[in-house]
Amino acid sequence: MAQLIDDDPRIIEFDVRTDEMLVNMGPQHPSTHGVLRLVLRTDGEIVSEVEPHIGYLHRCAEKIGENLTARQWIPYTDRMDYLAAMNMNLGWSLAVEKLMQYQVSERARHLRVLIAEMGRIASHLVGMGAYGLDLGTFSPFLYAFREREKILDLFEEACGARLTYSYITVGGLTADLPPGWLRKCEDFLDQFEPIIKEYHALLTTNAIFVKRTANIGVMSPELAIEYGCSGPVLRGSGVDQDMRRDGESIYTAMYDGYAFEVAVMKNGHYPRDHQYPPVPADAVIGDCWHRFFVRMLEVVQSMDLVRQSIDRYSACKGPLGEPVKLTEKIPAGDAYLETECPKGQMGFYLVSDGSAIPWRVRARSSSFSNLAVTHELCRGCLIADVPAIVGSLDIVMGEIDR
Amino acid sequence: MNLLTAGLPSTAIPLFAGLLDAPVGVAHYLVVGAILFTSGVVCMALKRNALGVLMGIELVLNGANVNFVAFSSPYLRGEGSASLGLDGQLIALFVILLAAAEAAVALAITLNFYNNHATVDIDQADDLKG
Amino acid sequence: MADFLINTVGLPEWLAWTITALVAAALILNVIAGGALVFIWAERKIAARIQDRLGPTRTGGRFGWLQSLADGIKLLAKEDLMPEGADGMLFRLAPYISFCASFCAFIALPFAFDFVGQRLNVGVFFVVAVLGLEVFGVILAGYASASKWSLFGSMREAAQVVSYEVPLGMCVVVPVMLAGSMDLVTIAEKQSGWLSSWYLFHDPFTFVIFWVYVTCAVASVNRAPFDLAEAESELVAGFHTEYSGLRWSFFFMAEYGSMFLVSALAAVLFLGGWNGPIPVATLLGLSEGTGDTANYFVRLIGCGNLLLKATLGVLLMMWVRWTLPRLRIDQVMTTCLKYCTPIAAAMFAGAMLWQLAFPGGVVRGISRPAGEIREGWLEGPGGLSAGRGAVGAKPTAIPSAATGTPVVPTLESSIESRDVVKVGS
Amino acid sequence: MITSLLASAVPMSGLLAALPVAAVNWHSVLFLLFAAVACACAVAVVLADNVVRMAFYLVLSLAATAGLFFLAGAEFVGAMQLMIYVGGTLVLLVFGVMLTAQAPFVAIKTSTGDRVLAGMVGAALLAVLLQAAFRVEPWRRPAMAAVAAPAATPIGMALLGVRVDEPVAGAPPAAVRSGYLLPFEIVSVHLLVVLVGAAYLARAKRRRTPRAIDVAASSVGPVVTAREAARSSASALASGGQR
Amino acid sequence: MDLASQLPMLLGLAWLAPLVSFVAILFFGPRMGHHGKNAAWVATAAIVTSLGLSLAAFGIWLTAHPVTAVSHDSHGAAVDGHAADSHDANEHESHGNEANADHGDHADHSGQHAAVVPAAYSGDWYTLYQGGSLRLSIGWYIDALTVMMFVVVTFIATCIHVYASGYMHDELHDVTDHEVHLSDGGHLHRPGRFPRFFQALSLFCFSMLGILIAGNLAMVFIFWELVGICSWFLIGFYFERKSASTAANKAFIVNRVGDFGMLIGLMALWGALGTLHFADSPAAGAGGQTAPGLFSLVRPAESGHALQVPDGMVKFANASGVSQIALDNASRPGDGANEIASRIRDWRSEGYGRWLLFIAGVGIFCGCVGKSAQFPLFVWLPDAMEGPTPVSALVHSATMVAAGVYLVGRFYPVLTPDVLLVIAVIGGITLFIAATIALVANDIKRVLAYSTVSQLGYMMLALGVGGWSAGLFHLVTHAFFKSLLFLCSGSVIHACHTNDMRKMGGLARVMPWTAGTMLVGCLAIIGAGIPFVIGLSGYYSKDAILAQALSYSQANPSWSILFYAVAGGAFLTAFYMFRLWFMTFAGAPRDHHIADHAHESPNVMVVPLVALSVLAIVAGWTLPGGFGLANLLEQARPAGTAATMSDSFLFGNLTVPAEHLSHEGAIHVTATLTAFTTAAAGVLLAAMMYLWRIISPEMVASVFRPIYSFLANRWYFDELYNAIFVRPVFAVASLASGTDRGVIDRLIDGIAWSARQLAGFDAWIDRNLVDGLVNATATATWNAGLELKKLQTGRLRQYVMFIVIGTVALFVLASMLFRAALAG
């Protein structure tokens, strides 16, 4: 045993020793994505332990949900993952619809796909830009926000809001798209497509970026599953799971007829539906680079889905349908549904006693689970790796603290 | 004569009278060197912090260096008297180099001491006490 | 200028020298402070353009050209905060030390042939040594701030700068070797002539080592991607986390001053100094003997040349900063120890061998006979033929002040021979 | 302001060194300035308790001494002093901060008795040294202008074993004076040894005696465990690129 | 490269390979794999290398000297007369060619009587010492015999190595030796000694090959002793067993007795002749000249290689006469030398030196007696069976015991008919005694051991009666079948875990391979074959011996007992060998416990058995065209020994008939028939007693009770030696010890007692006066040290203070004392 330990190459000792230091990273720190507080136990530049402290953004959202009708709670879901509010709306709406066994119209279904995927693009753009920021390069952040602004413009045109949309709602969507919107959306996609190459040049394939992310914060698939990670974080570790394909039928039915390939490394390669940059030699599956790369692939994937949904949506001639009444009674019972949000699998659970107001509301946050793995990933890394790892998890505190 | 020294009697004791207008000689440097040297020695004798002792050593070496340079300086050379010439400067150079090396070695010793005793108080370093 | 004051105005000599020195100091100070303002503004605009935005637009009417000044005034007016538990004296002193080091290094930097604060025969050495002191203020700031982030920042800075001084020194030694002098003025003078006489194009090794120098210079002044000491995504703001107001701006000025300094040093060492790519002055027939006015004019052009090159260097650093992510500290060290140092050493050896193989230079074609160059050490002040012409037939000049009035001691000069001193230019 | 003083001081030095004796002797003024700084900071080193402040004073003292060297015409030595000595002390400072940033180490007090004793002994030593200093023919008139401006070249040549500096009047001819090639080589090797030693000090090595908790932890699969696996920032920085 | 340089190189390498293995195992043995498992591979690889090299040498030899049929004409042995002289090989080649080309000329050239010089190469690798006439060197003497023996020895050793790597498997882990009883009633538990076994085995091979290749008697003696020590190692391998260590000691000591005789022989040769080289060698100091070797001294070419007392011996024996002549001619040394030379012939005819030559021959033979276990020194060999069976096989078949015979064969030209008679008689006695003991032995290995002794007696006898070729032929064939027999017995023991034949029986069913190969061995040893047609190897060699013995007894009727000994021996051999086989393999199992657990040995043991059995069958065959061992041996026949030799000295007129005479029809047929008849009778008797049970062995034993017990107690030889040698030695020893204890010790004790008294007084002075002084000094120093210790605080700061104070004090002092000097 002793022999074994001696030969363990992972254990390193230095002649020079310093004392441990407890450092607070956050809740006010440039790279903690909001009000996350990480307590680092450092020894020199080495981080020996990381403990995330959360709760700085707690707003009793679930409790509020138990005092509002289902549709009234929609704006609160906006404020969970405020970077992908559309997807939050969708998750809650579908959960309620599952309990009500409500079927939205075909037109609303395709529109929901369109909006949700656009929301995914917007969210991933923030994730990508902010990740560059975490690694000390500022420009990609602005490039990302430039494009995100265009998406927000489109959303604003559709629903009137730029951040908290409450657009998708129980029973459909609050309004149909304005005329000409699709045209603008297509224009945006056409214009956006070549820009992704720029992103790859600036970040994905940048030598320094690769050095900073490849082989950093490696998360094994087992670890990811154990911690309940989901979304790009899970797929970055090579686990082939996507709720849009593997979820419950009420959710997967939404994507019926859509062709997409889950962005995950299978058999040593990522989907080859588009021209992607090659995986650098240093990168190992499950590291920061792969998590980042999966997000970049999902942007392209979402663009494909948006294009498909535009075609389908325009082909639908029927009415969009009206959302349910604000005070619509929910049948007694409970329902739980997980949807694939940009950050991961977002689950909503509600128990109804038959009234319009749910008896219990609960949200399962993907970022919460993703953040929990931080202390595993950051053990023994350098301080500079902490933002790189936390950034690669792409967490949103609004969703975690609720 | 200038404004600053105009008021001072030029025949006062050389140490003070000539300070501003008399040219600087070797002895001036030697005084500085002596002060540096003494400071270093006192520092070594006083500091319980091993790093402080190191700094004392640096001061001592530096004081010696001042003397070397002074003796070798072409500007401070007295009329007709011999000086060390470049030799003084070269010795000063070697002292500087060796002092840097010495600092590295001494630091290594200090660090080992710190690793073993969890302190840099050299009063604790009495393992060889008789 | 001192002579002018003494001889013409009739001021007492000590006063004349004081005034001369103060003028020189003020000039350099202005270069740094003013330069910092300009560069900060330029950086904002450049960064904005790189990032697809406009940058400051309103202050000062157009282009926001007064924005830096406005910010400076704002900084002056800001409350000077000092954290509880900070080491007050060191906390206050640290920015000045940084700034002083940056400023002091300018003393030996020649802007044109005689436009130099103090021509030192160990000029290169002096500049590098003093520049290295800048980090001292940073360390003190980091320690004195009583903040862990600051401490981290200063530790990184210390390690980084100390490490990068090694390859930087090696890079700097190459032009010194080629010129046979550590005097910056001499080094720049040796590169006079066409573009091809710049040391950058002297041989392949110098070309490579120039880029090593650029890397090391960027690292030693803590600019992206080597800005570990203030890595905002990790260490909040590094060593100056706790600083505000004027003290903070001193750090800023020191940083921009250093940037300018290393760029200017690069220009002097590798890019011909104040010599343009085309020897316009020589082509026009302007030379040392043409006359004072023309001479002065030529030097002004040279000064502009140098400032332009240095500015280009600064702009290059900005461009890099707004493009690349930041390296991690161990990667920075790797870059230094595993790449820069060996490459610099190899290039140094290569340049040496090149000198041995082609003493006259290859690119330059027709050049001085080898013997003359080999005996170069005999020239210059203090050599065997001390006082008999450092550059060409010119007498050795010991410049008196930044204004460029060399005092030339001749062999005949003695204690009483102050009057014999010849006034140059 | 220190800034302006420094700014003016340094450019004046070389200039004033070349000046003949005149009314107000800037050389003396600057000498006094640097000497005062050097001595005051040296004394401050002795008096300071905080190790970082000590280091700070030490650096100031060394820098001022470098100024003295410049004044004495030993420009190369002065630059070396700045670069190596001050740089070396910088490292000292880094380690000092690193090791003693914890409160208990910042100030290890010395007893008053020790202080008094050291003061007395120091005074005695100073007295002896000063006595010796004053015996060196005091305040001899230097012959400043008669000398050539200093240059680094003779030093370099001397290090290569060739003496090109002119011998002082009355001294034996240059051919007799020996160079410093051998000491130079010895010092180079010495420095190399120190370099290797420093690398050895900062190198990573395997742990010998693992704690039970780490044994357990390492079997779970973390990459590096807590304290034993630690790298100090300095060693991490110095050795560079462990990953 | 010509033959003269190829052969020494190849054989030298073959000789050294086991040494390499020995050194390797010596230093790295325990580290060779688990418990030194790979040591077996190293040793085996070495011996296989040797085998390969030997075979290569053999091939080269055959190419250069094709073996052809020996013409049995009356002109004598017409072996190709390649005069051997490696020092001028070219000249020799041309000479040989000439000889081949013109056979008739040959006789004139080499003197009368067609004395043939064998093809032999000799030379030195390294001269150990050279001074005066003595030259000790590491050299080689290579002829057909050497080459053949190399092949035989290395082949058998290879087989045994392979076999042993399986047999010694137990030593790979810790061994509990059930035969060693500790005082606490338990059994010895010790770590395995696998590498050590192979280490000794390698050294043994090296030593044996050294004897074979040796170019002079000194070298022979060195390796002779090495073989002895190796046998000591190997026999005493289980040295914890008392019997094993005793046996090892016995073998060693008994051999020393023989070696003492050999030393005498060596001294006689060296003292009289000044050389120990077999062949001519470069003279000491003189360039280009050759000093004659032993062979050419004893059988000088100018006298047609006929045996004569060498000049040196004559002069040595008649030292007084020589000195008289030298005295007479003191002023003219040249004349003196001439006179001596002229008178040597006379002296020789007067008989000077004959004794010396006789003593030299008998002395050398004494060594052989020890090594080859001849009467009266044969007692060690049966006890040597305590060693592991592969050792028994190696020691008793091909190597150690063969060394003696080989040496006699090699030294043959120097032996006079008297010596030969001694050899023959000793061989005959040995043959008979050993065979009779073997009749009644029940230990399977002991039977084989006595059989070995008996067969060695055969060989000695054959050599003694002039059958040089016959004896050595038998040596080779015996090597094959005896090692085969031993390995078979090892296989049986391995299977049964007992040596006692009475507990065996019926093993042929469970161990068919072993039984078959053992049968082959038995048949070979009794010389089975279809008369005049074909037979196993033993058939040919035994026939030759019988024929030569017959020839000898015809020539010397008074010694015809030798022939009867041979014939009787053949009968006895057949009897006890088949007794062994029947008791072991045939019939019904006597001990079912053993029979049930018996099993065929592993392949690694069986394969050598088969290989050896094949050789035991074919080794004696002569192929059409004449290729065969016998003819090969003829190539090596020493010069001059092919002729009939008559002499008269100690034992009257003796005629040693030429060997080719034994091939004459009458003798040959008689011998063959005798051999066949006796062997068949032996087998028949054995079958009757042990297979068919017609005659009860028990009954026979009870009828001949006295004889039986006499035989069973091995003729009481051990008891005899005990009484003659051991007891007296013990008595003398106890007398000496008594004297020592009673007289000398008393005296010394008395001296010691008085010395003690004196010392006590001295000690008192020392303790009180001297020590007091020293201690006082020490105490003072100690106390001073204790006081000074307080200054050694370990505090750096105080030290600095001390330094400063010291410096200041020094300055003050200096300035006060040398003010003037300092002021200047």
Whether residue E794 is predicted with pLDDT greater than 50 in this model: the reply is yes
Minimum CA–CA partner of A17 in chain B: B115
All residues of chain D having their beta carbon less than 8 Å from the beta carbon of residue E811 are: 128, 132
Hey, of E793, E796, E805, E808, which one would you mutate to test binding to chain B, going by the most B CBs within 10 A of its CB?
A: E796
Whether residue B123 is predicted with pLDDT greater than 50 in this model: the reply is yes
Specify the residue for token string 């265009």. A150
Chain B CB within 8 Å of residue C289 CB? no
Average pLDDT over residues E262-274: 84
Residues of chain D predicted below pLDDT 70: 1-26, 89-108, 135-152, 163-178, 198-199, 201-243
Domain containing residue D4: CATH number: 1.20.120.1200
Per the CB < 8 Å rule, is B86 touching D154? Answer: yes
Run of H or E including C207:
helix C204-220
Minimum CA–CA partner of A129 in chain C: C325
Specify the residue for token string 């003497």. E141
Higher pLDDT, E71 or E160: E160
Q: Domain limits of chain B?
A: 20-124
Minimum CA–CA partner of B1 in chain C: C12
All residues of chain D having their beta carbon less than 8 Å from the beta carbon of residue C337 are: 239-241
Lowest mean pLDDT among C4-13, C339-348, E575-584: C4-13
CA distance C274 to A119: 56
Chain A CB within 8 Å of residue C226 CB? no
Higher pLDDT, E656 or D222: E656
How many CB atoms neighbour CB C211 within 10 A? 15
Q: Which chains are within 8 Å of B by 3+ CB pairs?
A: A, C, D, E
CA distance D219 to chain B (A): 28
Per the CB < 8 Å rule, is B78 touching D85? Answer: no
Average pLDDT over residues B4-23: 47
Whether residue E332 is predicted with pLDDT greater than 80 in this model: the reply is no
CA distance E615 to E477: 8
Write down the pLDDT at residue E734: 92
Write down the pLDDT at residue E84: 38
Give the number of residues written for chain D.
243
Chain B CB within 8 Å of residue A15 CB? yes
Is residue E460 within 8 A of residue E426, CB to CB? The reply is yes
Write down the pLDDT at residue E760: 93
DSSP string, B7-23: TS-TTS-HHHHTTTTSP
Is residue A133 within 8 A of residue C233, CB to CB? The reply is yes
pLDDT band at E750 (very low <50, low <70, confident <90, very high): very high
Query: Residue D237's closest CA among A282, C230, C153, A134?
Result: C153
Write down the pLDDT at residue D18: 42
Per the CB < 8 Å rule, is B62 touching D85? Answer: yes
pLDDT 10s digits, E586-601: 877 777 777 777 777 7
Per the CB < 8 Å rule, is D125 touching E807? Answer: yes
Hey, of C226, C234, C235, which one would you mutate to test binding to chain A, going by the most A CBs within 10 A of its CB?
A: C234
The 3-class SS string of E226-293 reads HHHHHHHHHHHHHCCCHHHHHHHHHHHHHHHHHHHHHHHHHHHHHHHHCCCECCCEECCCCCCCEECC
Here the tokens at position D22 are: 């005149």
Higher pLDDT, B25 or D165: B25
Higher pLDDT, E747 or E35: E747
CATH of domain B20-124: 1.10.287.3510
Count A/C contacts: CB-CB distance under 8 Å.
85
Query: Residue D26's closest CA among B28, C123, C121, B4?
Result: B4
Specify the residue for token string 């070696």. E259
Lowest mean pLDDT among A13-22, C252-261, D193-202, E604-613: A13-22
CA distance A111 to A154: 13
Lowest mean pLDDT among A185-199, A284-298, E27-41, E150-164: E27-41
Restricting to B residues 29-48, those with a Cβ less than 8 Å away from any Cβ of D are 29-43, 45-48
Which one of A132, A209, A384 has the shortest CB-CB distance to C231? A384
Residue B8 vs residues B11, B16, B18, C250, E291: alpha-carbon distances, Å: 9, 9, 9, 41, 116
Q: What residues form DSSP beta bridges with D204? A: A14
How open is the CA angle D2-D4-D8, to the nearest 5 degrees? 115
Specify the residue for token string 């391995």. E494
Which one of D202, D229, D232 has the shortest CB-CB distance to A11? D229
CA distance E15 to E19: 8
Write down the pLDDT at residue C154: 83
Residue E813 vs residues B31, B38, C187: alpha-carbon distances, Å: 22, 20, 56
Average pLDDT over residues E335-358: 78
Burial class for A280, CB neighbours closer than 10 Å (0-12, 13-18, 19+): middle
Whether residue E645 is predicted with pLDDT greater than 90 in this model: the reply is no
Higher pLDDT, C278 or C407: C278
Is residue A107 within 8 A of residue A202, CB to CB? The reply is no
Average pLDDT over residues E616-645: 76
pLDDT 10s digits, D125-172: 887 777 777 766 644 454 444 445 556 677 777 777 776 665 554 555
Hey, of D39, D77, D106, D231, which one would you mutate to test binding to chain B, going by the most B CBs within 10 A of its CB?
A: D77
Is residue E574 within 8 A of residue E681, CB to CB? The reply is yes
Per CATH, domain A69-401 is 1.10.645.10: yes
Higher pLDDT, E778 or C375: E778
**Touching pair C, E by Cβ (3+ pairs < 8 Å):** no
Write down the pLDDT at residue C386: 37
Minimum CA–CA partner of D69 in chain B: B69
Is residue D151 within 8 A of residue D26, CB to CB? The reply is no
D6 domain-assigned: yes
Hey, of D203, D215, D223, D243, which one would you mutate to test binding to chain A, going by the most A CBs within 10 A of its CB?
A: D223
Count B/E contacts: CB-CB distance under 8 Å.
37
Write down the pLDDT at residue E758: 94
Q: Which domain holds residue D34?
A: 1-150
Write down the pLDDT at residue C392: 38
Average pLDDT over residues E535-542: 83
pLDDT band at C8 (very low <50, low <70, confident <90, very high): low
Count B/C contacts: CB-CB distance under 8 Å.
3
Q: Where does E571-727 show beta strands of DSSP type E? A: 645-649, 652-656
Hey, of B15, B38, B105, B114, which one would you mutate to test binding to chain D, going by the most D CBs within 10 A of its CB?
A: B38
pLDDT 10s digits, E37-81: 788 888 888 889 889 988 888 888 888 877 766 544 433 333 333
Average pLDDT over residues C309-335: 86
Q: Which chains are within 8 Å of C by 3+ CB pairs?
A: A, B, D
Here the tokens at position D223 are: 């990459």
**Touching pair E, A by Cβ (3+ pairs < 8 Å):** no
CA distance B46 to chain E (A): 6
Write down the pLDDT at residue E398: 62
Chain A CB within 8 Å of residue D235 CB? yes
Write down the pLDDT at residue D14: 43
Hey, of C328, C329, C335, which one would you mutate to test binding to chain A, going by the most A CBs within 10 A of its CB?
A: C328
D70 domain-assigned: yes
Write down the pLDDT at residue D165: 61
Write down the pLDDT at residue D92: 66
The residue type at B63: G
Query: Residue C228's closest CA among C135, C329, C333?
Result: C329
Handedness of CA C230, C233, C234, C236 (dihedral sign): positive
pLDDT band at C362 (very low <50, low <70, confident <90, very high): low
- Number of domains chain D contains: 1
All residues of chain C having their beta carbon less than 8 Å from the beta carbon of residue B73 are: none
Sort residue E132 into left (φ over 0), alpha (ψ -120 to 50) or beta: left
Whether residue E410 is predicted with pLDDT greater than 80 in this model: the reply is yes
User: Could you tell me where the DSSP H helices lie in E378-508?
Assistant: 380-383, 389-393, 400-411, 417-440, 444-464, 468-496
**Rg from Cα positions in chain E:** 34
Query: Residue E224's closest CA among E450, E401, E460, E49?
Result: E401
pLDDT band at E133 (very low <50, low <70, confident <90, very high): low
Handedness of CA E666, E670, E673, E679 (dihedral sign): negative
Whether residue B17 is predicted with pLDDT greater than 80 in this model: the reply is no
Which one of B45, B53, B128 has the shortest CB-CB distance to E794? B128
CA distance E156 to E478: 11
Per the CB < 8 Å rule, is D45 touching B55? Answer: yes
Is residue A162 within 8 A of residue A155, CB to CB? The reply is yes
Provide CB contacts within 8 A for E629, sequence distance 6+. Answer: E148, E473, E476, E477, E619, E620, E622
Restricting to E residues 773-812, those with a Cβ less than 8 Å away from any Cβ of D are 797, 801, 804-805, 807-808, 811-812
The 3-class SS string of E322-381 reads HHHHHHHCCCCHHHHHHHHHHHHHHHHHHCCCHHHHHHHHHHHHHHHHHHCCCCCCCCHH
**Touching pair C, D by Cβ (3+ pairs < 8 Å):** yes
Question: Percent of chain E beyond pLDDT 90?
Answer: 5
Whether residue C410 is predicted with pLDDT greater than 70 in this model: the reply is no
Lowest mean pLDDT among A79-88, A229-238, E582-591, E755-764: E582-591
Higher pLDDT, E623 or E614: E614
Specify the residue for token string 């200054």. E791
- What's this model's pTM, rounded to 2 decimal places? 0.56
Per the CB < 8 Å rule, is B30 touching D28? Answer: no
Q: Which chains are within 8 Å of A by 3+ CB pairs?
A: B, C, D
Lowest mean pLDDT among B46-60, C303-317, C391-405, E212-226: C391-405
Provide CB contacts within 8 A for C17, sequence distance 6+. Answer: C2, C401, D12, D15, D16, D26
Residue E8 vs residues B35, E154, E204: alpha-carbon distances, Å: 88, 16, 20
Chain B CB within 8 Å of residue C382 CB? no
Specify the residue for token string 């190696």. E394
D238 domain-assigned: no
CA distance D10 to C100: 12
All residues of chain D having their beta carbon less than 8 Å from the beta carbon of residue B14 are: 138-139
Q: What is the mean pLDDT of chain C?
A: 75
Per the CB < 8 Å rule, is A139 touching C233? Answer: no
pLDDT 10s digits, C172-203: 888 888 887 888 888 888 887 777 778 888 78
Chain C CB within 8 Å of residue B115 CB? no
CA distance E464 to A260: 105
Is residue A265 within 8 A of residue A290, CB to CB? The reply is yes
Is residue D232 within 8 A of residue D101, CB to CB? The reply is no
Top-ranked range on mean pLDDT: pick from C1-5, C63-67, E95-99, E106-110: C63-67
Specify the residue for token string 């493009």. C323
Question: Percent of chain E beyond pLDDT 70?
Answer: 91
Chain C CB within 8 Å of residue B2 CB? yes
pLDDT 10s digits, E465-504: 888 888 888 888 888 888 888 888 888 887 777 778 887 8
CA distance A36 to A52: 7
